[in-house]
Structure 1
């Protein structure tokens, strides 16, 4: 069993190392589910097989020691060397391979349940949501806000709130479902979303905006035009680049969403199909979003982002956001 456990840990290290280095993509939810099942198997084996065997061996050791002491006392020997308590503790102790499997099961189970049904941490990898979210922000995502979903398969089993315009949502990237994306909900099912000449309209009504002082991006060392935008009840900031054109070049291989959209030199107009959402980044001219690859289906929703719990480069960023 120790060799098998070592082999499993070696495979886990190789898998995580390749994932970290980008050699292959990974599914952390599936990995955590497999680890939970594996450690649960060890935990059951410990409770039903290995622990009873160790307890029986410790009892036999105590019985042998008691018999030996009784025999020596009959021979008149009162002082007997040896401490059976130390030997008993060694017999009852878990071997390393059980300590690192069955012993970790409660912790892994708690993490699996917390991450699957309550809150999940994410790291912001790109600048598509600047100025709302910066590269390196570590955020929390509310997994039950949009309903309870089964882990791994992401099947909704209990409804809760519906996505609203202005929500910052984490979802599985429709182009590559193994990758999580974060954008802002702009269009709901049935909405007509128009982004023309860098102006956003929904169902023919211009979205309320007001200009703000230019934003200085410390990563690109450039200034960007900044404005306050109000989507539904949510007011947030957006950025635009005056040097970038307003037109959009969609990904040509996704004809299924292009049938719902009209592209021209000014931008794009899309009608959101039922059960789907139109997503956009707050950094409008530096965001690959629904303008390029289409709509997000309901089954791809992961949760609602709501809190920055750490940014090691800027602790002032910790807190809630809109």
Structure 2
């Protein structure tokens, strides 16, 4: 059967997924290449650890924007060129539906399992216990591949009293460490831990100025918010199992304040 290809259909299918419009317009090989390129680059960037950086995220957004624009333009041109197109077995509505369903499954799998499969997570900070390091509205990149936790790391973790809720705080002590707060200064194994120091304006209440020494159990971490007076942290619910840590916060990749965009979260 000879049937002309409609540019508008090629455009809409390309918007749904790069490559799908090419399948409709008669170039299966190019369609498959665009499909594999999209997810191949995503997988490669994730495994290289670049998606836990601000620059990697920006590059991915730019790459996908360019890929979609190219796919739409190319598919429309191909449809316009195929004025007398002989339908192939795959040019049936159920094949497009099956391909689109496959795309949805692959996309959903990568999105829902990005932490384990691609090594990164993206979150928005909703509250201010980590001010001034993190502020409400900051979008943060989280490295879920690095399993080596260190003093000073800012991490995302599951709140012990409700594991469906995620918190962001700073590690100030590891397993077998002795941690205390004296005159507002975090003391680690009897010595001041400068990485955990915060400005006096963020530690005015009694619980932020003094805390008796505690021993952190092996395999657990002790966490504090940088805004000590406004943080529900290990002072109240104890040390956290390392297994409840989702990942280490690496960058602010987007923020309401332009000057904060791209800031690296340091220990």
Q: Number of residues paired by the alignment?
A: 181
The answer to whether the Cα contact below 8 Å between 2:184 and 2:203 also exists between their aligned partners in 1 is no
**Aligned mates of 1:190, 1:276 — CA distance in 2:** 9
Asked if residue 315 in structure 1 is aligned to residue 258 in structure 2, the reply is: yes
What is the deviation of 1:267?
A: 2.9
State the match for 1:137 in structure 2: 138
Q: TM-score, normalised by structure 2?
A: 0.60
**Aligned mates of 1:135, 1:321 — CA distance in 2:** 15
**Aligned mates of 1:241, 1:180 — CA distance in 2:** 26
**Equivalent residue for 2:236, pick from 292, 302, 306:** 292
**Aligned mates of 1:97, 1:166 — CA distance in 2:** 50
What is the deviation of 1:286?
A: 1.2
Asked if residue 203 in structure 1 is aligned to residue 204 in structure 2, the reply is: no
**Aligned mates of 1:295, 1:183 — CA distance in 2:** 12
SS in 2 for 1:185: strand
What is the deviation of 1:88?
A: 6.5
What is the deviation of 1:175?
A: 1.3
Asked if residue 245 in structure 1 is aligned to residue 245 in structure 2, the reply is: no
CA distance 1:295–1:85, shift in 2 (3 Å): same
SS in 2 for 1:247: helix
CA distance 1:145–1:244, shift in 2 (3 Å): same
What is the deviation of 1:100?
A: 5.1
Q: TM-score, normalised by structure 1?
A: 0.50
State the match for 2:154 in structure 1: 168
Gaps of 5+ in 1: 1-82, 147-160, 209-229, 232-236, 249-264
CA distance 1:127–1:84, shift in 2 (3 Å): closer
SS in 2 for 1:270: strand
Q: Compare the two structures and name the one with the higher strand fraction.
A: 1
CA distance 1:142–1:87, shift in 2 (3 Å): closer
SS in 1 for 2:206: coil
State the match for 1:305 in structure 2: 249
The answer to whether the Cα contact below 8 Å between 1:247 and 1:268 also exists between their aligned partners in 2 is no
The answer to whether the Cα contact below 8 Å between 1:143 and 1:303 also exists between their aligned partners in 2 is yes
CA distance 1:116–1:243, shift in 2 (3 Å): closer
Q: Compare the two structures and name the one with the higher helix fraction.
A: 2
Gaps of 5+ in 2: 1-83
Asked if residue 177 in structure 1 is aligned to residue 120 in structure 2, the reply is: no
What is the deviation of 1:207?
A: 2.5
CA distance 1:140–1:84, shift in 2 (3 Å): closer
